[in-house]
Amino acid sequence: MNHLFDLSRTAPVAVLSPDPRREDGVPLIDPIRLYDQINPEAEVAVLTTHTAARNLRELMPDLAVWGGAVRIVRPGAAPDDPKHRHPLVKITPGRSDEALREIQHQLLGRTLVYSTTTPQPGNSRPPVPGDHSSHAPDDIEHLRTLLAAEKRTTSSLRQDVRRLSKALRAAEERAEIDTPTIYADPERQFCYELDQCWLRMIAEPDRPSQPLAPFTLGPDWLTSLHTIELVDRRKIVEVTVEVLTGLAAAIPGRQVHRMRARDERGGVPLVRADQAVAMRCHLKNQTSAAPRLMWWRLPDQSIELARVALHDDTHLR
């Protein structure tokens, strides 16, 4: 975003929005092909998610680009510019060649000029061709060398575009996932994050059949979120959603199982005085002291989230 309004930018930028028919953020025209046609006189930027396109539309309605269209942002752009200064090229599915020509025209101003008058002969004589045959082999070899260098440069630039597009997509996904602090109260904040995560993870048609089970937070739950260092908070919230919806039991990597209390007989199921059964599952599997998420399953099938701890830390209350 900052680059679009950088006053030192001297080249126009073609901002591509994602295909509205697809969820993977792919635009209607190939950004690599467009880049090959306009580089180095212009630049290409890709909005890789529909959320990014919506955010741009909310922040700057006059510079918005959506529905697979392409916005041409000229140098010296400002957020309050009139929209006609930065033209919008609408893309019709299946007609990418026409769209590419129009974008190239808007970016570079390349047009065909037609004359309606008959040219008059001048006084100049046509040039007499000289004998340059002796230099032809050297010229051809030089052009081949230049062509090879250009191909290498193009290949490198394509790799850069793919790498940067992937990095941009990852950054936008992280921005969508990160949940801001809404409540000062830790319990209300955690419940808010849980609701938002459930809405992200569970598709709308599946939500009636996969609701969050009734739950409470045990006395050690919130404290344990700050003491465990091997797993970030976002991952803990995601696995909690899996536990509360019942999805964790169907995921082999979670290894949902009852906890056992150690005694001379080798271990018996851990059951609290109120008949709540102690359960736990894996948060990560790659370490010997893999973190676990632990909870109590009450007789009424509600859940009390107990704590997050390392594998050998089985203290519950």
Please, what CATH class does the domain formed by 2-112+156-175 belong to? Answer: alpha beta
pLDDT value of residue 278:
96
Whether 270 and 279 have beta carbons less than 8 Å apart is answered as no
Report the candidate in 29, 55, 56, 54 with the shortest Cα–Cα distance to residue 44. 29
Low-confidence ranges of the chain (pLDDT < 50): 110-117, 119, 124, 130-132, 264
* Torsion, Cα of 17, 19, 24, 26 (10° steps): -70
- DSSP code of 292? E
CATH number 3.30.43.10 is the correct assignment for the domain at 186-309 = no
pLDDT of residue 38: 82
What type of residue sits at position 51? T
CA 175, 176, 178: angle at the middle one, nearest 5? 65
| Confidence at residue 39, expressed as pLDDT on a 0 to 100 scale | 78
* Residue 165: per-residue pLDDT: 74
Residue matched to tokens 């007499």: 128
| Domain positions in the chain | 2-112+156-175, 186-309
| Residue owning tokens 């940067």 | 164
In this structure, the chain runs to a length of 317
